[in-house]
Structure 1
Amino acid sequence: MTQLQPRLGARDIAVATMMNLLWGMNIIAVKMAVIEIPPLTAALLRQAIVLLVCLSWLRVVPGRMRELLGLGVLTGGAYFLVINLSMAVATNVGALAIAGQLGVPFAMLLAVVVLKERIHKYRIAGVALSLLGVGILVFDPAVANEMPGIALTALASLIWAGSSLIQRNLRGVPVLTMYAWVGLLGVVILAPVSLVFEPQAVRSIPHLPLHSLGWVAFSAIGSTILGHGSMSWLLQRHPVASVTPLTLASPVLSVIFASLFFRTPLTPLMILGGIVALTGVAIVTIRSARVGEGRA
């Protein structure tokens, strides 16, 4: 078994930089995909691409199938259904990037409720700051029309939090095997839903232009497979406490990229809410990583 190294080398930093850039740019790809393709069909195509790329890794893992099936249902089906709908109804996707940070505190709260983990003052403060940061958006007139999208993003964050608990029991399972099941269950769930609610869009899939498919492919390959694969690679080489803080750059990049690409405003309240939410997420992430490492 390879000994974990606390110190990050140049190659590790390069991988982490790529990971954050892919995750940061993904918000543009998802929004453009649901502009050009109805949201349920776009989600179906994303999972179909994930399945196609990871198909050779699809295998039964004895003793882990309940978790793999649960991960597939939540991540492959429910999460992408809700997150694509949120992108479809939103204009200022930068606000959604801020609201998406609720996944980290939600995951910690679920761990407290479901796994009976203990929570101390620092992580309580982090959760409070995360909720406050997203709550600040409610008072921003510039995002007043984004409340449906923010609410759907919050729901997607809760679903993501549930799937993160499942992944705790999947350590040692290759990431491509996990995402093969995510892709398979995503297709199984999203195909009938898309056929019922977007039958014309499903029938038009063979005629979609390549640039439309390109946005979906970027999300599937860039964000899901390469992004999460990079995270798995880093966690195999370094302690959790050294790796998880590296992910904090991605929401900042998402907000910046979305504002520049879609020319949506970054208001003072959005900036304030983002800073407060990210501060809370940073506290929860770093303290949780240290707890997981057995540190104070």
Structure 2
Amino acid sequence: MQHDSLLDAPAERGFGRLDWSIAIAMMLLWGFNIIAMKSVVDAAGALPGALLRQAIVALACLPFLRIVPGKMRLIVLLGVLSGGAFYVAIGLSLALATNISALAIAGQLGVPFSLILAVIFLKEKIGIPRLIGIILALFGVLLLVFDPEAGRELPALAISACGSMVWAIATLIQRNLGGIGVLNITGWLGLIGSLVILPFAVLIEPEGVAMLTSLSAETYAWTAYAAIGSSIGGHGAMVWLLQRHPISTVSPLTIPTPVISVCFATWWFGTPLSWLMIAGGLIALVGVSIVAIRNAQRSRALAEARLLREGTRA
């Protein structure tokens, strides 16, 4: 019998080449997405831009939308959080921020939030090597807060932190939706998210909503990338990974995303890149390397144990 428990989670399995390929694609899609999102927010407004993005996601995934018996309460909750509230927070933080690199880095707060929630609710265990790697990575991220350029972005950073908590809660829910098509889940996120964002957009930015039909072709193209490339491609990759691996394995894989975003933002917008940002980024990369090596070791151990069990049965 299916039920909406937050404590059900799929068994851990080895992290293979396909998993790594999908994870790398996810990092790149999300890393470049900051350029698209900032461009859309500047042209259409924070909430109208988020509304247009989620509407495109819903339309693109409409043919794959299906009712999932026994799981709709979780899907609706996920849609409200990950499809609606998260993009409201991201849109508002982008509208307030001038240093996009600092904002991209602050988005990594979702990693420790998700791991803490996983330990509390899913009883997952984080080994000492991965814990050290995550601490180093997060220290690198926090180091950037002391940069003068980032210090001027406190309101945007605070809103981004709220979005990170929403994202962390959503990862717990996603872990309980195994066996459901990625495009089906993504379509529900787009549809429910659009319904959540619409009243806020109409009340707060009515002029932006009225202008949605008269945006430039470039803005529509950026929105399409954010919707199809990031929401469908990137988020779909995350859902695929979370359905097969614990949060403590998948969440650290998002740590390189702000580094990629910082590189893209510096190149595209000319965002200042100080020595403190470079130092923080390098420390974060060291932490990510430790996590990646430990994940590879765990994957090999799981594969060897599985082969041993199969050999014993034979």
Distance (whole Å) between structure 2 residues aligned to residue 274 and residue 232 of structure 1: 26
Is it true that 1:62 corresponds to 2:86 in the alignment? no
- 1:6 Cα deviation after fit: 5.6
| TM-score scaled by length of structure 2 | 0.80
**Aligned equivalent of 1:91, options 54, 74, 98:** 98
Identity across matched positions, percent: 50
Q: 1:224 to 1:274 in 2, by over 3 A?
A: same
Partner-residue secondary structure (3-state), 2:175 = helix
- Unmatched segments (≥5 aa) in structure 2: 1-12, 306-314
**Aligned equivalent of 1:220, options 198, 213, 227:** 227
**What amino acid maps onto 1:49 in structure 2?**
I
Aligned to 2:189: 182
| TM-score scaled by length of structure 1 | 0.85
- 1:266 Cα deviation after fit: 1.2
- 1:229 Cα deviation after fit: 3.3
Q: Indicate conservation of the 8 Å contact 1:23/1:250, yes or no.
A: yes
Distance (whole Å) between structure 1 residues aligned to residue 114 and residue 250 of structure 2: 17
Distance (whole Å) between structure 2 residues aligned to residue 18 and residue 28 of structure 1: 17
Q: Indicate conservation of the 8 Å contact 1:101/1:277, yes or no.
A: no
Aligned to 2:17: 8
Tell me the number of residue pairs that the alignment of Structure 1 and Structure 2 aligns. 290
Aligned to 2:135: 128
Distance (whole Å) between structure 1 residues aligned to residue 177 and residue 184 of structure 2: 10
Q: 1:286 to 1:56 in 2, by over 3 A?
A: farther
Aligned to 2:5: none
Aligned to 1:262: 269
Aligned to 2:280: 273
**Aligned equivalent of 1:197, options 204, 221, 227:** 204
Distance (whole Å) between structure 1 residues aligned to residue 266 and residue 105 of structure 2: 12
**How do 1:283-294 residues align onto structure 2 when only pairs under 5 Å count?**
none
- 1:213 Cα deviation after fit: 1.7
Segment drifting more, 82-91 vs 249-258: 249-258
Distance (whole Å) between structure 2 residues aligned to residue 118 and residue 106 of structure 1: 15
Q: Indicate conservation of the 8 Å contact 2:108/2:254, yes or no.
A: no
Q: Indicate conservation of the 8 Å contact 2:79/2:189, yes or no.
A: yes
Partner-residue secondary structure (3-state), 1:169 = coil
Q: 1:248 to 1:277 in 2, by over 3 A?
A: closer
Q: 1:280 to 1:102 in 2, by over 3 A?
A: farther
Q: Which has the larger radius of gyration?
A: 2
Distance (whole Å) between structure 1 residues aligned to residue 296 and residue 187 of structure 2: 27
**Aligned equivalent of 1:146, options 145, 153, 157:** 153
Q: Indicate conservation of the 8 Å contact 2:175/2:242, yes or no.
A: no
Partner-residue secondary structure (3-state), 2:17 = coil
Distance (whole Å) between structure 1 residues aligned to residue 103 and residue 136 of structure 2: 17
Segment drifting more, 193-202 vs 119-128: 119-128
Aligned to 1:46: 53
Q: 1:31 to 1:160 in 2, by over 3 A?
A: same
**What amino acid maps onto 2:48 in structure 1?**
T
Aligned to 1:167: 174
Distance (whole Å) between structure 2 residues aligned to residue 149 and residue 269 of structure 1: 20
- 1:142 Cα deviation after fit: 2.2
Q: 1:253 to 1:172 in 2, by over 3 A?
A: same
Partner-residue secondary structure (3-state), 2:68 = coil
Aligned to 1:250: 257
Partner-residue secondary structure (3-state), 1:264 = coil
- 1:56 Cα deviation after fit: 1.4
Q: What is the Cα-based RMSD across aligned positions, in Å?
A: 3.3
